[in-house]
Structure 1
């Protein structure tokens, strides 16, 4: 398990959050996962994260889930698996990972600020074969400005790593300069890469991806993510054009990871 101690964006946490009426539902049975099969657990050589299907063969997650920070390189792709809708002994679909594109500015930006690290903490994974509509439906990315209001977090995590938890009633608190977003949702180790959904006229859209949680003394715990539309669009273009680009390592395209600062927040990948 990796811990990155931080006082992440301490200035953003000076105002205490208002307690929301939050409901946390464990999706422990196959029937309860219906409609959420597009969210799944990503297994890597260093632990597990949460990922979300955004196309038949594309999964969105946090970049730090698939990167060895000490080596500034992508983890072995051959050992990665995406389990869509994993619920105990049921999985809607399991696929290997064929290609990874990281958000531009993540690897190689040694002097990157924490803001840059969070807003670029995104990875797009291409599966070795598409997931069929009979197995799981992908979710779309929310492409408009997000006002403060209710959101839904769906994630795996420590103590519930074989079933999804759906948290309704937590709220988007702020979007700061640079696209960093804060939510008063319950996150733990294994929740990295989890989708934050907004209900847009009856349709669920992904508004952010969990990058880390705040650990500022005296402040309420917050989930911290990033704005998605521009970065995800750029990664999808890179994925389509990857045949014309040289790979960084087996199965991974180089796009650039920020230096892990010792001041900031807690990232969470591996769980027990």
Structure 2
């Protein structure tokens, strides 16, 4: 199981997914301290691959991390912020286990396409849960709105497309929201971001680099709540 729990500084957790033997994909906001707004030291982050009922298939500490260059941490989840809410964590040691096969990424699905979310949450922190298959309600540049009902702890969870022979990651959960009275999930698209993040790591722009972008608050008809 390449989906795992990210234990962060002993104070909380997010969901992460192995996309190579040494790289874990998650949400950028997971790497910030909620109280101070400062980046969390990667040394305080541990990836528990396939964590279930107190045991993991592999345990790895983080070596470094990189966030999307356009991401700026903040309390409000604007459209610009959500579209860049993605990060990569590099592990100190690769995970080489036949039961933990990294997932590949895919293109952002079309409106109406079926997707699924695998995540940990505050009421199921000891085992991952596959959301009932939900659908893409709307697409925007860099993110999509889905009918999935996610909860706290689902941040960074992979959104899978089932169009191919094997599920592909097409998004990561960035926020939960309410739209027209319905609970929805907001996912950051990864089709272009993942390559960008890999390039950032290859260029030596790991965690600690101050990179931020400016943007405007665009109204997409959803009230955001960070999961």
TM bucket (normalised to shorter chain) is 0.7 to 0.9
1:164 pairs with 2:128: yes
The TM-score normalised by the length of structure 1 is: 0.74
Residue number among 143, 158, 172 corresponding to 1:195 in the alignment: 158
> Deviation per CA, 1:78-109, whole angstroms, max 9, x where unpaired?
2110000001132110100001100011137x
Match of 2:45 in 1: 80
Q: 1:258 and 1:82, CA in 2 relative to 1: closer, same or farther beyond 3 A?
A: farther
After TM superposition, give the deviation of residue 235 of structure 1 in Å: 0.6
Question: What is the DSSP-based 3-state SS (H/G/I as helix, E as strand, rest coil) of the residue aligned with 1:203?
Answer: coil
Structure 1: gaps of 5 or more residues: 1-36
Q: Which has the higher contact order (CA 8 A, sep 6+)?
A: 1
Question: Partner of 1:255: helix, strand, or coil?
Answer: coil
- The question of 1:175 aligning with 2:139 is answered yes
Q: Number of aligned pairs?
A: 220
- Pairs within 5 Å for 1:1-272: 37-45=1-9, 46-68=11-33, 71-107=36-72, 114-143=78-107, 145-176=109-140, 178-216=141-179, 218-242=180-204, 245=205, 251-256=207-212, 264-268=223-227
Largest Rg, 1 or 2? 1
Stretch of structure 1 that moved more, 76-85 or 49-58: 76-85
Q: Which runs of 4+ in 1 moved over 6 A?
A: none
| Structure 2: runs of 5 or more not aligned | none
CA distance in 2: counterparts of 1:232 and 1:146, whole angstroms: 19
Counterpart Cα distance in 2 of 1:154 and 1:145: 17
User: Residues 159 and 170 of structure 2 are in contact (CA less than 8 Å); yes or no, is this contact kept in structure 1?
Assistant: yes
TM-score by length of 2: 0.88
Q: Please report the RMSD computed on the Cα atoms of aligned residues, expressed in angstroms.
A: 2.4
Report the Cα offset of residue 148 of structure 1: 2.1
1:41–1:48 contact (8 Å) kept in structure 2: yes
